Amino acid sequence: MPDRRIAGNALSPDAARALTEGPAHHFVGAGDRQPWSPSGRYLLGIEIPPELRSPPGAAVVGVVDLKNGSAWRPLAATIAWNWRDGAMAQWIPGNEDVMVGNTNRKGKPGSFVFDVGRGARRFLPHPVYCVSPIGAKAFSVDFGRLGFYRRGHGYERIPAPGPFPPAPANDGVWSVNLARGDRRLTISYADLRKWTATGEADILGTWADRLQVNREGTRLGFLHHTLFEKGGAHTHLITCSMSGGGLYCVTKGFVGDFAWGPGGKIVAWCGPRAGSAATRRSAGGRLELVLGISRILGEPDWFQQQVVHPFCRNALGRRYRVFRDEEGEIPTPLEDDALSAGRPAFSPDGRLVLTETGPDARHLKTVCLLYPPSGRVTRLARFGSPQSLNDEARCHLYPRWRPDMKALALDSCHDGRRQICEVAIPDSALDPARPRQDPLESVLAR
CA 435, CA 432: separation in Å to the nearest integer?
Answer: 8
Tell me if 200 sits within 8 A of 181, measured CB to CB: no
Q: pLDDT tens across 125-170, in order? A: 999 999 999 878 999 999 999 999 888 889 988 877 778 999 999 9
Report helix, strand or coil for 256. strand
Taking only the tens place, the pLDDT of each residue in 216-269 is: 999 999 999 999 888 788 899 999 999 999 999 999 998 989 999 999 999 999
Q: Is the dihedral of CA 403, 385, 86, 137 positive or negative?
A: positive
Which DSSP letter does residue 315 get? G
Side-chain-side CA neighbours of 355 within 13 Å: the count stands at 28
Backbone angles phi, psi at 48, to 5 degrees: -120, 135
Beta bridge partners of 280: 288
| Rounded Cα distance, 88 and 256, in Å | 19
Q: What three-state secondary structure class fits 413? A: coil
Q: What pLDDT score was predicted for residue 446? A: 26
Do 40 and 14 form a contact (C-beta atoms < 8 A)? no
Cis, bond preceding 163 (omega within 30 deg of 0):
yes
Give the separation between CA 101 and CA 435, rounded to whole angstroms.
Answer: 42
Distance CA 215, CA 348 (A): 10
Eight-state DSSP code of residue 10: B
- Per residue in 345-397, pLDDT (tens digit) is 999 999 999 999 888 888 888 999 999 888 888 889 888 877 766 666 678 89
Strand, coil or helix: what is 230? coil
